[in-house]
Amino acid sequence: MTMNCTLGFLGFGNMGRAIAGGLVEKGAIATKHIAVFDVDDEKKEQARELGATVHDSPSQLAADSDVLVLAVKPQTMDEALEQLKPGLAPRTLIVSIAAGISIAFITKRLGPEYRVVRVMPNTPALVNAGAAGIALGPNCTGGDEQIARAIFEAIGVVEVVDEKLIDAVTALSGSGPAYFFYVVECLVKAAQQHGLTEKQATTLAAQTLLGSGLLLRESGETAATLRERVTSKGGTTEAALRAFRDKGLEEAIAAGVQAAVARAKELGQ
């Protein structure tokens, strides 16, 4: 899908740049159709370097945008919506990537006539390998879903979910990269204790993480099936997995996800 409408970004930090850059790289949008407002001069310059139009105010950006991505911090969303409102028209599709900000929060401030898509992306979008959960507002159309999909499929994979499940998406894929990085940290430290250098261990662990993810995605098999194929009876993998279970790894992961879901709900209140 090629976007011929104007795609606006309120905020042009890492995620905003990743989305815009991914769309341009894939040929999904021309830079002349990208508009940006950011309070930071450096980010404005980065937008200009991409070829985007940089506006002087949020309301000016809103007036120019057919689709408007809200890429500001959750704590500044109230103020941002207030500044956008004078330039907004109901024809504009609103796409929010702010953690914890509900669709109702946005429509309460802008008006019930606005179509809002709520998205939880993640940081691997920076290398075009993101995973995003998308929730559509009650008055969104099939065309709105197509646009939202096109934006985030340019930088990864997309799953459409009910908004009530966005907190679970946040806990799984939104926060998930940190979990995997933490596991790699632990593996690297453990490998160093057995003689590998940090660089050697990091290289091997990173490639193992990448390869395992690709195998899971491309094979069509479940994670359990792939795990069983690696686990020979009486072998090294079985010994490691038994130790993980004995130490309560599954319970620890479940507790972490639960904590993330609970915190996501708190942020949305």
% of the chain exceeding 70 in pLDDT: 100
pLDDT tens-digit profile of 102-114?
999 999 999 999 9
pLDDT tens-digit profile of 249-267?
999 999 999 999 999 888 7
Confidence (pLDDT) at 3: 82
Does 30 have pLDDT greater than 80? yes
Alpha carbon distance 126, 115 (integer Å): 27
Does 269 have pLDDT greater than 80? no
Q: Where in the chain is the domain with CATH 1.10.3730.10?
A: 174-267
% of the chain exceeding 90 in pLDDT: 88
Confidence (pLDDT) at 108: 95
Alpha carbon distance 115, 68 (integer Å): 11
pTM: 0.89
Topology at the third CATH level for domain 174-267: ProC C-terminal domain-like fold (1.10.3730)
Confidence (pLDDT) at 1: 66
> Which own/partner pairs from 160-168 qualify as long-range (CB within 8 Å, at least 24 positions apart)?
160/133, 160/134, 160/135, 160/136, 161/133, 161/134, 161/135, 162/135, 163/102, 163/103, 163/118, 163/135, 165/133, 165/135, 166/118, 166/120, 166/133, 166/135, 166/264, 167/261, 167/264, 167/265, 167/268, 168/261
Q: Where in the chain is the domain with CATH 3.40.50.720?
A: 7-165
Looking at domain 7-165, what is its CATH homologous superfamily? NAD(P)-binding Rossmann-like Domain (3.40.50.720)
pLDDT tens-digit profile of 64-91?
999 999 999 988 999 999 999 999 999 9
Other residues' Cβ atoms within 10 Å of the Cβ of residue 260: 20
